[in-house]
Amino acid sequence: MEKVIKKTTASSGKNGSGPAGKSLPDARKFIIIRGARVHNLKNIDVDIPKQKLVVVTGVSGSGKSSLVFDTIYAEGQRRYVESLSSYARQFLERMNKPDVDFMAGLAPSMAIEQKTRTRNPRSTVGTTTEIYDYLRLLFARIGKTYSPESGKLVTKDLPDTIIKEISGLAKSGTLKLYVYFKQNFTDKAILQSILTGLRAKGFYRLFLKDEIVDLNDIEDKDLIEKIWKSSKDEPLKIIVDRFTLDVSDQETLSRLNDSIEMAYKESDGFVTIRVMNEKGYGDHEYNHYLERDGIRFLEPEPRMFSFNNPFGACERCQGFGRTMDIDYDLVIPDKKKSIFQGAIAPFSTPKHSKHLSSLIEVADDMGIDIHKPVGKFTSDEMKKIFKGGKSFIGVDKFFKRVEKEASYKLHYRVLLNKYRAYTTCSECDGSRLRKEALYVKIADKTIADIVRMKISEAYDFFINLKLSAYDKQISGRILEEIISRLKYLNEVGLTYLTLDRLSNTLSGGESQRINLSTSLGSSLVGSVYVLDEPSIGLHPRDNDRLISIMKSLRDLGNTVIVVEHDSDMMEASDEIIDMGPLAGEQGGELIFQGSYKEILADKKSLTGKYLSGKDQIKIPASRRKVDSKSDFITIKGASENNLKDIDVNIPLNVFACITGVSGSGKSTLVNDILYGALKKKLEGSYNEKIGSHDEIVGVKKIDSVEIIDQTPIGRTLRSNPVTYIKAFDVIREAFSSTSAAKRKGLTPGYFSFNVPGGRCETCEGTGIVKIEMQFMADILLECEVCRGKRYKLDVLDITLKGGDGSHKNISEVLDMTVTDAIKFFKPYPKIVSKLKILDDVGLGYIRLGQSGSTLSGGESQRVKLAYHLTFQDKGNNTLFIFDEPTTGLHFNDVSKLLKCFEQLIKKGNSVLVIEHNLDVIKCADWIIDLGPESGDDGGYIVTEGTPEAVAKSSKSYTGKYLKKYLK
């Protein structure tokens, strides 16, 4: 079925007319939208004021993103791209035209979303913000090379420095000298060719021994014989010019400069100056290369500092900074053990215990105490363990032997994988660059040193950088760009990040704020910026700075439209648009538009009720007790990144919250140390690097650990919520059990769109066919065979009777929302029990067959939560870790999420949440607050206890803001 979209023409005048001749506001002052029907939008009309900060809010699934991203951004971007040449369009993302009657007042649009994170392992904060590109230029322009042998500055012989040195030799004020260069030859034919070339270029004089020969005074044949007899083992010495140098004569000095440059050019960088004196002469040799201590250094150029360019990348790790190697921390996991107690893990197995016996036999001869804890060994003693000696093979040789065997023996491959992990490249020490790039410094810092600084430190470094007048002149604009971009990163609250931080390790909120700072750095005006919850990942303390940035973007002359649930952001906005009233089919309406004060009094707005305090997320009547009798998982000596060797007790079977300002060490503690260490202990197959810590205690008190993050549930059109939670299996069984299906012999497999059988083979069960268009947007067309229904006709003929009395086929079921499906499947309790959990986590509005690639990060996280709520057995104690689960959630949805946490705990599990949302924090049983600041000033436990106890702490920023939520 073809969808017909009504097309109208807009007038840009003040009193233009839209559809049906209705009068419209001034398109110079408003973005005008009429009849928007994208997704669940109910044919709405909206006028959004330009050059204002506008917050769009509402419950999850109410249509916020459909309005902001899929209508305003999509049409603004589409119109801009369509205005470009066909050549330019092929390199840009093209958007489909949104389903809307009329739009006017649009400007080029930019979307800054949470899900902009790249999975590219080469991408860093520095490359994303383009600061690294400017750093490469800066080091190529003004970087100074230092010898690794002596540490002294390496300089090349520039004409200015040569002239200065030669002028210093003049005692009487004048100096007689010759400038010449050398050229090698191997036979008479080459010599003839050289002489012919010299004449053509205007060189007519040579030094032959100490005699000056004029090429015009002798035939080539005679000259060649003369040279061959007297100087065939020496290079030709071609005179460029001769001078009687007067150091006060600027014209002569300029001529000497030109002669030196010409000699460099003709000889590939070498020149000799013969200075005549009373006793004879002295030859002074110079070259245009960086040389010192017998080493010729590379000339700094931008590509030498690029780890994405083969020329600049470290050869060993190919510019990744990490290699898959034997991790000695896995080889010796417990450094408190002695060698005799089995500290070397691979030698403690029966198959390889012979190597331990060998070591014990020769330990005295090697000077190794086998009863001393390995953690107390000196570096020399550890070297002996790894390198071996006497009859002991050594750890390194042992694994080299295993690697050879692993190519054809499975059990050796298993052994190897057990002790392998990604480790910092030993060649470049994680800098990703070839060693020559690290010889170049600015103010005693290499480019690797600078990208390892916190952004606040890098900003201070460049602000206080002292340069010569010449260096300032050639680097001025580059420095301005670097300082400007670092300043904006500071202002969006990312002071604690480093420029070499991998982009794929950033949270959605951090990625978005980086893109926001980049937008500020670009200084664009007259544009439309749309943002998706920029406050995510930001502590309430830092909200004011973020709001200030938004206003700066607005004050440049841009329209800033923000999808947001943060009350501070709403209060600071110029206009609020509230979508609702509920989610999915029950949403898509414009409930309210106006100021913050007006929404507080609006009776229809659910958002207004929460903001005014009429509705609220209630504090639990009682909290689970945490005391010395409670079960804990204890991390001892956590020291990864900025953590200050802290011991952390994480209570089990309760709802615990890790809080603290951005960059205080929360993610490092939970994701890098706790999750990795537990996964390794419980499953033994975790190959990622585990954050530095001494030990983890209490692992046996849990059965498993799960981190429920915001990564997509799938990246293809086939992945969807109903298959992820395994509800589709039961639905297919219900269809196959009908009498009609049994007569046709249709098993559950026929109702799957993932395998051949009942699916449409033209579109392979996706319902759409993709046609690639080189100069236009790729077209996704409804499959002509199945009409987008995914299945063959004989499968679509099978219908199921629902609890509401209607009959639906499998395609119609997949097109239902979760809420509608619960009503339909009322006669099928097994199906309802699974779907009900999706509804409980606030996803009643999504469709059963909705592609996983269209879900937001927060929605994907809640689908995963629903899966675990469905399959979690009572008595199986799992530690569930959530990193900012309130992303994308309205106040009303947060209430539902908290109920899900309660369900998990009641089943005997433990919940640990990293969170900034104070409505969630106030409901926790136990809080561990890290800080007090970010980066090096963080990494301590500021306070811990119940929310009431934390609120009393004078040192805790979290406590300060939590107080008013506990009243």
Does 932 sit behind a cis peptide bond, omega within 30 degrees of 0 on the bond before it? yes
The burial of 412, by beta-carbon neighbours within 10 Å (0-12 exposed, 13-18 middle, 19 or more buried), is given as middle
Amino acid at 229: K
Give me the DSSP letters along 843-894: -TTSBTT--GGGS-HHHHHHHHHHHHHHHPPTT--EEEEEESTTTT--HHHH
The class (CATH top level) of 19-114+524-531+545-612 is alpha beta
pLDDT in tens, 740-790: 999 999 999 999 998 899 999 999 898 888 776 555 555 677 888 999 899
Three-class secondary structure of residue 457 per DSSP = helix
CB neighbours of residue 769 within 10 Å: 16
In this structure, are strands 655-660 and 926-931 parallel, antiparallel, or unpaired?
parallel
Q: What is the rounded distance in angstroms from the CA atom of residue 773 to the CA atom of residue 90?
A: 9
Local structure of residue 932 (DSSP, 8 states): S
Asked, colleague to colleague, whether 19-114+524-531+545-612 and 153-297 share their fold, the answer is no
CA angle, corner 780, sides to 777 and 781, nearest 5? Answer: 130
- HSE, CB side, 13 Å, CA atoms: give it for residue 9: 0
- 810, containing H or E segment: helix 810-814
Q: What is the rounded distance in angstroms from the CA atom of residue 194 to the CA atom of residue 682?
A: 76
- 36, containing H or E segment: strand 30-36
Among 421, 407, 397, 418, CA closest to 323:
421
Give me the DSSP letters along 168-236: TT-SSSEEEEEEEEEE--SSHHHHHHHHHHHHHHT--EEEETTEEEEGGGS-HHHHHHHHHHHHTTS-E
Q: What is the rounded distance in angstroms from the CA atom of residue 165 to the CA atom of residue 271?
A: 14
Q: Which residues of the chain have pLDDT under 50?
A: 1-15, 116
Compute the radius of gyration of the chain from its Cα atoms. 36
Task: Give the per-residue SS3 of 291-355.
Answer: EECCEEECCCCHHHHCCCCCCCECCCCCCCCEEEEECHHHHCCCCCCECCCCCCHHHHCHHHHHH
The burial of 875, by beta-carbon neighbours within 10 Å (0-12 exposed, 13-18 middle, 19 or more buried), is given as exposed
Residues β-bridged to residue 324? 422
CA dihedral 261, 266, 268, 270 (to 10 degrees): -60
Q: What is the rounded distance in angstroms from the CA atom of residue 516 to the CA atom of residue 553?
A: 9
Task: Give the per-residue SS3 of 380-431.
Answer: HHHHHHHHCECCECCHHHHHHHHHHHHCCCHHHHHHHHHCEEEEECCCCCCC
pLDDT in tens, 880-909: 999 888 888 899 889 989 999 999 999 899
Which residue's structure tokens are 């290369």?
Answer: 289
Does 373 sit behind a cis peptide bond, omega within 30 degrees of 0 on the bond before it? no
Which residue's structure tokens are 């100069």?
Answer: 775
- 239, containing H or E segment: strand 236-246
- HSE, CB side, 13 Å, CA atoms: give it for residue 78: 15
Burial code of 158-173, b = ≥16 C-beta within 10 A, e = fewer?
Answer: ebeebbeebbeebeee
State both tokens at 915: 């969170």
Residues 6 or more apart in contact with residue 328 via CB below 8 angstroms: 386, 395
Q: What is the rounded distance in angstroms from the CA atom of residue 536 to the CA atom of residue 886?
A: 8
Ranges of each domain in the chain: 19-114+524-531+545-612, 153-297, 328-418, 632-712+873-965, 721-854
Tell me: domain 153-297, CATH 3.30.190.20, correct?
A: yes
* Cβ pair 105, 30 in contact under 8 A: yes
pLDDT confidence of residue 496: 87
User: For the domain with range 328-418, which CATH number is right: 1.10.8, 1.10.10, 1.20.120, 1.10.4160?
Assistant: 1.10.8
CA dist 669 to 636, 651, 691, 881, 915, Å? 11, 15, 8, 12, 13
Residues 6 or more apart in contact with residue 338 via CB below 8 angstroms: 369, 370, 371, 372, 373, 374
State both tokens at 352: 């390889």
* Cβ pair 57, 891 in contact under 8 A: no
Tell me: domain 632-712+873-965, CATH 3.40.50.300, correct?
A: yes
- 132, containing H or E segment: helix 131-142
Residues 6 or more apart in contact with residue 21 via CB below 8 angstroms: none
Q: What is the rounded distance in angstroms from the CA atom of residue 478 to the CA atom of residue 96?
A: 38
Three-class secondary structure of residue 636 per DSSP = strand
Cα of 235 vs its chain's centroid, Å:
56
* Cβ pair 640, 672 in contact under 8 A: yes
In this structure, are strands 799-801 and 53-58 parallel, antiparallel, or unpaired?
unpaired
Residues 6 or more apart in contact with residue 447 via CB below 8 angstroms: 135, 136, 139, 143, 305, 433, 437, 438, 440
CA angle, corner 61, sides to 58 and 66, nearest 5? Answer: 90
Q: Which superfamily, per CATH, for 721-854?
A: ABC transporter ATPase  like domain (1.20.1580.10)
Instruction: Output the pTM of the full model.
Output: 0.74
Three-class secondary structure of residue 809 per DSSP = strand
Strands, E, within 508-645: which ranges?
528-532, 559-563, 575-580, 589-594, 632-638
Task: Give the per-residue SS3 of 770-794.
Answer: EECCCCCCCEEEECCCCCCCCECHH
Kindly give the residue spans of alpha helices, DSSP state H, lying in 527-645: 543-555, 567-572, 596-601, 606-612
Can you say whether the dihedral through the CA atoms of 640, 643, 649, 651 is positive or negative?
A: negative
Residues 6 or more apart in contact with residue 297 via CB below 8 angstroms: 145, 147, 154, 289, 290, 291, 436, 439
pLDDT confidence of residue 15: 47
